[in-house]
Amino acid sequence: MRESPQNSGPRFVLTGTFHALNRGDSGMQLAVAAALRKRIAGARIAIHAPYAEEDRVLYEGFEVVSCSRRRPLDALKAIGRVVLWRLTAGRWPLSAELASYRDAEWVVDLAGDGFTPTFGWKCPVSHSVPLLLANLMKRPFCLLGQTIGPFGGLLRAWLRWIFRRAAFLTVRDAETLGYLRAWSLPCPVELTADVAFLLEPDSTRTAAEILASLPGYNCARPLLGVTPSNLHNVAAAGNAEAVLRTLAEGCAAAANQLGAQLLLVPHVFGPGAVYDDRRAAVAVAAQLPASVGCLQIREPLKPQELRTVISGCDAFVGMRMHAVISALASRVPTLGLSYSPKLGSLMHRFGLDDYVLEAARLEPNALSEKIVRLWKERAAVQAKIAAALEGEILPAAERNLERLLSPLKRPF
């Protein structure tokens, strides 16, 4: 679906997306797209997606362009076409993807942790393709709210070459800030916060309405939200089956002690079964005793709807970073189960270092004890979250947009 013709303002290309069914990924895209529309009347937003046909369902109202990222042969063809376009002084025909770059006022990368070694070397190489194309077409590009590195060897040299051509970079953790400063980049590098903190909750339904639609929901009992994940492609997560067994046992013990219901909230719904965290939710639910009232989100809710649902929890345990962000943004007392340093860095900014456990080393007793402690200290934890949000995190998330819009030198 293309944008409405009345949108005649500056054009922004948003890249870095994987698949819209990854609601952390699509949440970042929607947060920035909506924020730009809110600030600039008539802003034109093009979301470049490797799975454009599938993603158009979620990104309705925005232009969705099929991109060559994740397709090495298509990426090489795109690079060759740009070279020919330049050699012929713009007479060589461009693909829809490249024409979108040509017309962009900004190319905005929202890769999150795409430029880390968490998912292997192919992921950061793939994420560098849109930035290379933007540079070849002489369009300004930036990276917003990233976790980056560490890298060595040829990969570090390649990414440093790319990043030196960026207009600016904003990062979401102090470790990345220190790491990139050692690269001596000529562009500004600033610590902000994840752009997903700007995502607004669903405006059509309240958490109470969504929860009331779930069979077995009892509003008189505390609600412990849990986002489980298979994390199949993250080696640090260890044995996924063992982690999920431990998660089920620890959460069940805590729920019984607190008289709470469990709400299993998958945050990634594909693409395909291997990426679908509903499998993890089913595996956890199958191991819970009947005494624990278990509720499950089964439909692939939109990012805004997931934020609304999570806001209805009394406490939250998350294995997905953007599910944790939704909980923190909603001021819900939160325990993070970390599979990479990015989650620990996030919790540190909220003063919640004591509420992070490593997913690969999870033990049932330690988990249940930590959840019970979180519940007992929930008032103090909520106060910490609120203070961090208002004093640092939300203003820092807003600075991503301020940095992006300031060079346009127009009143918006």
**Domains observed in the chain:** 11-191 (3.40.50.11930), 207-391 (3.40.50.2000)
Give the contacts of 271 (CB within 8 A, at least 6 positions apart).
Answer: 19, 21, 51, 54
Contact in structure between 287 and 262 (CB atoms under 8 Å): no
> What's the pLDDT score for residue 27?
98
Q: Which residue has the tokens 């040299």?
A: 157
pLDDT of residue 232 exceeding 70, the answer is no
- pLDDT per residue as tens digits for the range 352-396: 999 999 988 899 999 999 999 999 999 999 999 999 999 999 999
- Determine the Cα–Cα distance for residues 206 and 203; give it in Å rounded to an integer: 8
Q: Tell me the three state secondary structure of residue 140.
A: coil
Q: How far is CA 121 from CA 107, 172, 238, 307, in A?
A: 23, 21, 19, 31
Residue 155 has φ and ψ, to the nearest 5°, of -65, -40
3-state secondary structure of 122: helix
Give the N- to C-terminal CA distance of the chain in Å, as an integer: 26
The DSSP code for 2 is: P
pLDDT of residue 347: 97
- 339: which 2 tokens? 């599979």
**Residue 236 has what pLDDT?**
44
Percent of the chain at pLDDT > 70 equals: 95
CA-wise closest residue to 289 among 257, 337, 241: 257
Q: What is the mean pLDDT of residues 216-240?
A: 80
Distance, in Å, from the CA atom of 203 to the CA atom of 72, rounded to the nearest integer, reads 40
352-362: b (≥16 Cβ within 10 Å) or e: beebbbbbbeb
Positive or negative torsion for Cα 403, 405, 408, 412: negative
Residue 411: what pLDDT? Answer: 47
Angle, CA 193 vertex, CA 185 and CA 360 arms, to 5°: 100
CA distance 212 to 282: 20
Q: Taking residues 263-281, what's their average pLDDT? A: 94
- The encoded tokens of residue 179 equal 């790491």
If you average pLDDT over residues 305-327, what whole number do you get?
Answer: 97
pLDDT at 290: 86
Would you say residue 2 has pLDDT above 60? Answer: no
Q: Is the pLDDT of residue 405 over 50?
A: yes
Q: Hunting for tokens 């999570």 — which residue is that? A: 310
Residue 359 has phi, psi (to 5 degrees) of -60, -40
Q: Is the pLDDT score of 291 beyond 90?
A: no
pLDDT in tens, 114-153: 999 988 899 999 999 999 999 999 999 999 999 999 999 9
Report the C-alpha gap between 335 and 350 in whole angstroms: 12
Q: Return the minimum-mean-pLDDT range out of 47-56, 81-90, 192-201, 290-299.
A: 290-299
Cβ proximity of 344 and 336 under 8 Å: yes
Give the Cα separation of 228 and 231 in Å (integer): 9
The answer to whether 323 and 234 are in contact (CB under 8 A) is no
**Is pLDDT at 7 greater than 70 in this prediction?**
no
Query: Which string of DSSP letters, residue by residue, matches 150-190?
Result: ---HHHHHHHHHHHTTSSEEEESSHHHHHHHHTTT-SS-EE
- pLDDT confidence bin for 409, thresholds 50/70/90: low
Q: Does the pLDDT at position 3 exceed 70?
A: no
Spacing of C-alpha 180 from chain mean position: 21
On whether the CB atoms of residues 287 and 401 are closer than 8 A, the answer is no
Q: What is the pTM of this model?
A: 0.94
Q: What are the beta bridge partners of residue 337?
A: 357
pLDDT in tens, 65-123: 999 999 999 999 999 999 999 999 999 999 999 999 999 999 999 999 999 998 889 99
CA distance 147 to 331: 23
pLDDT surpassing 90 at residue 249: yes
